[in-house]
Amino acid sequence: MSNSIEDSFICPITQEVMREPVICIGDGHSYEKAAIQAWFHKSGNHTSPLTGRELAGTELELVPNFALRSAIEASQQACGTSNAAVSTIPETTLFSFGTDDNKSASSNSNSTPTKRALPKSSTFAPGCPQIITAGSQGLYTGMAEIQVWDTNKWRQTLRLTDNIHDGAITCLAAFQSSPLLASGSRDKTIKVWSTTEWTSTITLQGHTDWVYCCGTGPSERLLVSGSRDCSLRVWDLEVGQARMKLAGHCGYVYCCAVDPRGNQIVSGSEDWTARVWDIDSGQCVQTLEGHNNAVMACAGWGDREVVATGGADRLVRMWDPSSWGSVATLQGHEEAVTCVALDPRGSWLVSGSRDCTLRVWDL
């Protein structure tokens, strides 16, 4: 059996491998039981998460999908693992923060108790002790929000909910040379925010489907985004338009990274490949093949000049930008690798997975 994770194993709502799949009679699709129940409970309008069609009566009934559950369990049992990581960090935290009952908010906050926001992305704010997180209050779309946390006191200092995005926020990227932040959303747009005034300075439109990722370079003018429309776009923030569209992937673009000099972009896709793009020409200069399923995460370059990609095949692959050859394969995760990060010196790599662990690798 293939080590890849079938698309049918992934819940359309949570984007995670299902543990208790059920079929919604109204649209014929399978969902994680708890997720579809929460969807119907929270949406209040009983629409299909995939089609948007109004469901009523017996169409709302959920039937266990035993065949799919057996297939998922068989696939997981057939996947052998090895552990090459220096350290594995289980599902524990040094510090946790959320918005339940507004317990984390600062004492002078005027906000009232709210539902928990589902975090989808986070980043550090350059030059100040802040972590910025983003998510939504709904499992599938919901009200988007951005939260700012003070890392000195570990408490929320700001929560933005008005006029954020018309869909869940999927990614954040901070600009290193200026107090700006980019957010991408399922509403097909990217917004750029001033992190001093927390106002939106520009809304970038052009993608025809969800924005999955965004990345910034050394210049405050350089912003790159990747989308479910299978393309990337390089944006000129001075005019608020796409400078070029990068087409070549045959599947959703899940991740992108910009090299520190602003010359190249690496992107990862559902088509099992990573691609290297020249920013000036917009041409694909290299296709990186080796993953046996979607490439869901990428990072680079660091002092050691290395690029990492993580895939739904549970592998992390290392690439040498001088030749774009594969130099290492890191095995250990039991499910899809969804995020990777390199320390600036290139000595360590951290990878996160749907197996609910983080692994720290000595490069």
Q: Could you tell me the pLDDT band of residue 120, with boundaries at 50, 70 and 90?
A: low
Classify residue 221: in a domain, yes or no: yes
Same domain as 313, residue 174: no
Classify residue 72: in a domain, yes or no: no
Q: Over the stretch 156-168, which tens digit does the pLDDT of each residue have? A: 888 888 878 888 8
Same domain as 160, residue 205: yes
List the structure tokens of 147. 């939260």
Q: What is the CATH number of the domain that holds 194?
A: 2.130.10.10
Q: Over the stretch 20-78, which tens digit does the pLDDT of each residue have? A: 899 998 888 899 888 888 788 765 668 888 877 888 888 888 888 888 888 888 876 76
Classify residue 186: in a domain, yes or no: yes
Encoded amino acid at 137, one letter: Q
* DSSP codes, 11-57: -TTT-SB-SSEEEETTT--EEEHHHHHHHHHHHSS-B-TTT--B--G
Q: Name the region of 236 (left: φ>0; alpha: ψ -120 to 50; beta: rest).
A: beta
Same domain as 230, residue 211: yes
Same domain as 125, residue 195: yes
Alpha-carbon distance of 283 to 115, in angstroms, equals: 45
Q: In terms of Cα–Cα distance, which of 205, 201, 134 is closest to 173? A: 134
Classify residue 62: in a domain, yes or no: no
Measured in whole angstroms, how far is the alpha carbon of residue 178 from the centre of its chain?
23
Same domain as 313, residue 285: no
Classify residue 169: in a domain, yes or no: yes
Classify residue 14: in a domain, yes or no: no
Classify residue 234: in a domain, yes or no: yes
pLDDT at 113 over 70: no
Q: Over the stretch 79-88, which tens digit does the pLDDT of each residue have? A: 543 334 554 4
Same domain as 185, residue 275: yes
Same domain as 243, residue 134: yes
Same domain as 198, residue 149: yes
Q: What is the pLDDT of residue 5?
A: 57
Same domain as 253, residue 127: yes
Alpha-carbon distance of 335 to 351, in angstroms, equals: 12
* Prediction pTM value: 0.69
The number of folded domains in the chain is 2
List the structure tokens of 239. 């005019």
Range of the domain at 131: 90-98+115-260+269-289
